[in-house]
């Protein structure tokens, strides 16, 4: 009963909102769903590193290890559910920063597509199932650079 | 819309943008007490825009922590400029907030 009611309310709200917003609302919704389609689902579902590389860069390339990437991650993560990760790079012309966790069920964790004026300096918090290498990929001028760091996980963050 | 806490601060010649979003980030791999799989429910995309210009689009997978955090550094926006931070999840829900550069 509860569920039905909630659905009905959401529907009603949705309809009301759509009529208020009129044409603009519909256009907005379209833009959103189109943007959603661009989300690289297969890459996020890929279970091996080489599959992820193929999905992201259309070939299984081996990135150049670079000392110009600073991958900030803890040596030991007490709680695998919240591991702070930061990636910074002095390589010019960076267009994308990717964070991968080698031993997670699906390695691809996050991909930052840099727009106008954005610097290669991003951070987030991720989940890690167990001790693993964390890899930061930096794409600049068609080349892919990498840095990796091992993070020891005491309690995994993916189990139930 | 509620659910996003954001800050943008000008430091030197660049703006540091930080945002904290309220979201369960359910991976789809966990099971409840009865052994049923909890369906995936996670943010897929975070966009940060300034005056119609996209500063960054981040694709998030289910392995990003619950109540996700994002930070970026961007040059261009100046004090008083408005930035728009928005997220979209795999169920089609979305939220956005406006933040003024301080």
ipTM: 0.92
Q: Are residues A74 and A7 in the same domain?
A: no
Partner-chain contact B65 A101, CB within 8 Å: no
Q: Are residues A33 and A98 in the same domain?
A: no
Which chain B residues are within 8 Å of A160, Cβ to Cβ? 30-32, 38
Best CA proximity match to B44, nearest among B86, B87, B78, B6 = B87
Domain count, chain A: 2
Does an H or E element contain A150, and which?
strand A143-155
Q: How far apart are CA B24 and CA B67, in angstroms?
A: 6
Q: Are residues A145 and A67 in the same domain?
A: yes
| Residue in A33, A106, A114 closest to B61 by CB | A106
pLDDT tens digits, A101-135: 999 989 999 999 999 899 999 999 999 989 999 99
Domain that holds residue A11: 1-38
> Is A158 part of a structural domain of the chain?
no
Place of tokens 């897929």: B44
Q: Are residues A131 and A79 in the same domain?
A: yes
Which chain B residues are within 8 Å of A6, Cβ to Cβ? none
Q: Are residues A30 and A56 in the same domain?
A: no
> Is A79 part of a structural domain of the chain?
yes
Cβ–Cβ under 8 Å, residues B27 and B42: yes
Which chain A residues are within 8 Å of B59, Cβ to Cβ? 39-40, 44, 110-113
A157 touches chain B (CB under 8 A): yes
Q: Are residues A29 and A103 in the same domain?
A: no
Q: Are residues A81 and A134 in the same domain?
A: yes
* Alpha helical stretches, state H, A46-113: 49-57
pLDDT at A10: 54
Q: Are residues A54 and A23 in the same domain?
A: no
B91 touches chain A (CB under 8 A): no
> Is A159 part of a structural domain of the chain?
no
pLDDT tens digits, A16-63: 545 544 444 444 444 444 444 478 888 888 888 888 888 888 877 888
Which chain A residues are within 8 Å of B93, Cβ to Cβ? none
Q: Are residues A134 and A118 in the same domain?
A: yes
């Amino acid at each position: 009963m509860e569920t039905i009611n909630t659905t009905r309310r959401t529907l009603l709200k949705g309809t009301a909102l759509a009529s208020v917003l009129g044409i603009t609302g519909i256009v907005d919704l379209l833009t959103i769903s189109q943007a959603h389609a661009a989300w690289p689902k297969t890459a996020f579902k890929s279970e091996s590193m080489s599959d992820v590389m193929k999905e992201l860069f259309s070939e299984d390339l081996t990135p150049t290890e670079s000392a110009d990437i600073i991958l900030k991650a803890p040596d030991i993560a007490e709680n695998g559910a919240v591991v702070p990760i930061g990636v910074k790079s002095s390589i010019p012309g960076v267009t994308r920063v990717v964070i991968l966790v080698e031993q997670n069920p699906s390695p691809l964790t996050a991909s930052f597509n840099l727009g106008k004026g954005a610097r290669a300096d991003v951070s987030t918090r991720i989940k890690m199932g167990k001790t693993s290498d964390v890899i930061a990929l930096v794409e600049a001028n068609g080349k892919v650079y990498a840095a990796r760091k091992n993070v020891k996980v005491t309690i995994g963050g993916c189990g139930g | 819309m509620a659910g996003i806490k954001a800050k943008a601060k000008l430091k030197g010649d660049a703006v540091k943008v930080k945002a904290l979003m309220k979201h369960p980030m359910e991976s789809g791999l966990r099971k409840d007490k009865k052994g049923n799989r909890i369906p995936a429910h996670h943010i897929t995309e975070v966009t940060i825009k300034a005056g119609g210009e996209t500063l960054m689009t981040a694709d998030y997978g289910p392995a990003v922590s619950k109540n996700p955090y994002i930070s970026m550094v961007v040059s261009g926006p100046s004090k008083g400029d408005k930035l728009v931070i928005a997220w979209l999840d795999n169920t089609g829900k979305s939220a956005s907030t406006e933040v003024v550069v301080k």
